[in-house]
């Protein structure tokens, strides 16, 4: 399973990269707004740290403008993936950019047929937002399972990127279902390595060792 960090904060990205298991980065307009820096400048900085896919979201909402903006973003570095909203215009832009060899990540996917359509348009990634579905009383991980079934039924190669992951349980469920990629905050990446029995076990081992050997 590939793991991306979901942030535009360079300090967090460097920390995640230093773990040695980071496969990519996702950003969005809300995340870059928190940083107060030009989006293009920050994307270039991220691509200097991470060689895997770095998602850059377009601000445009109309297909032609999305295509133009996507092409500009793709010039920043060879690992830029153009992130487009999962709308009719986004679908059109996805098809054009994919046909030209530019990778796309279709974001804000909330139902399985959206995922089927963008796969037909050649999307490299589709981003179902599981936390936001849970927020409105739906089952986010069920969406991942349905997309997995559809993609496996027809051999679609689009990767399922589980997004809007809020805690390790989301991550575990996505891994059990077979999401190809998950993007998550640094905090959740670190939480995946936590267990109180690991900590208490280390304490006991070290105390026993100190007692015997000083
Ligand atoms: O990857 C999508 C993510 O940035 C959205 O997460 O927690 O705002 O729903 P959240």
Dihedral angle computed from the Cα positions of residues 127, 17, 19 and 188, in that order, rounded to the nearest 10 degrees: -40
pTM (predicted TM-score): 0.96
Q: At what angle do helices 112-120 and 88-99 cross, to 10 degrees?
A: 30
Phi and psi (nearest 5°) for 88? Answer: -60, -45
For CA atoms 19, 157, 160, 152, the dihedral sign is negative
Residue with the smallest CA separation from ligand 1 atom 5 is: 164
From 83, 95, 103, 159, active-site residue:
83
List pLDDT tens digits, range 163-180.
999 999 999 999 999 999
| pLDDT bracket for residue 214 (50, 70, 90) | confident
DSSP H or E segment with residue 73: helix 63-74
Ligand 1 centre from 186 Cα, in Å? 12
Mean pLDDT value across the chain = 98
């Amino acid at each position: 399973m590939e793991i991306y960090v979901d942030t535009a904060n360079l300090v967090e990205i460097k920390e995640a990269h230093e773990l040695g298991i980071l496969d990519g980065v996702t950003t969005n307009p809300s995340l870059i707004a928190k940083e107060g820096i030009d989006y293009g400048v920050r994307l270039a900085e991220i691509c200097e740290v991470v060689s895997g896919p770095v998602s850059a979201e377009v601000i445009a909402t109309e297909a032609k403008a999305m295509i133009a903006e996507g092409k500009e973003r793709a010039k920043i570095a060879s690992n830029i993936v153009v992130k487009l909203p999962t709308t009719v215009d986004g679908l059109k832009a996805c098809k054009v950019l994919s046909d030209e060899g530019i990778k796309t990540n279709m974001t804000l996917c909330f139902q399985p047929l959206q995922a089927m359509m963008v796969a037909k348009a050649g999307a490299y990634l589709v981003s179902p937002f599981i936390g936001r579905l849970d927020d409105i009383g739906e089952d986010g991980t069920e969406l991942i399972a349905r997309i997995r079934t559809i993609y496996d039924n027809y051999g679609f190669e689009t990767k399922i990127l589980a997004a809007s992951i809020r805690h390790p349980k989301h991550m575990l469920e996505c891994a059990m279902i077979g999401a190809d990629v998950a993007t998550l905050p640094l905090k959740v990446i670190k939480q995946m390595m936590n267990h109180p029995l690991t900590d208490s076990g280390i304490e006991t081992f070290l105390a026993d060792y100190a007692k015997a050997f000083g």
